[in-house]
Amino acid sequence: MTETSIKTEKMKAIRPKLRIGLLALQILLPLAGYFALQEGHLGLTWGIAGIFIVSMAVLIWLG
């Protein structure tokens, strides 16, 4: 096995776990953003929105 194929096999093993974690994050972050808005923490809301966008980009990259 070449080094590239070993890395590919490791990535295939990691991807399902990463997808599940990101899916949970995609579900929970909007709820956290809602509660941050309810409490009036605008900076925290922007931070949560940024994390949401980054997690969506990673989820799309994983395909």
Domain boundaries, the chain: 26-63
pLDDT of residue 60: 87
What are the Cα distances from residue 25, in Å, to 8, 31, 59? 25, 10, 11
**DSSP letter, residue 55:** H
CA distance 47 to 45: 5
CA distance 15 to 39: 35
Other C-beta atoms closer than 10 Å to the C-beta of 52 total: 17
Q: pLDDT means per 10 residues in the chain (63 residues)?
A: 64 78 92 96 96 91 80
pLDDT of residue 10: 65
Q: What's residue 50's pLDDT?
A: 96
* Degrees, nearest 5: CA angle 46-35-42: 30
pLDDT of residue 44: 96
- Residue 26: the pLDDT is 92
pTM of the predicted model, to two decimals? 0.71
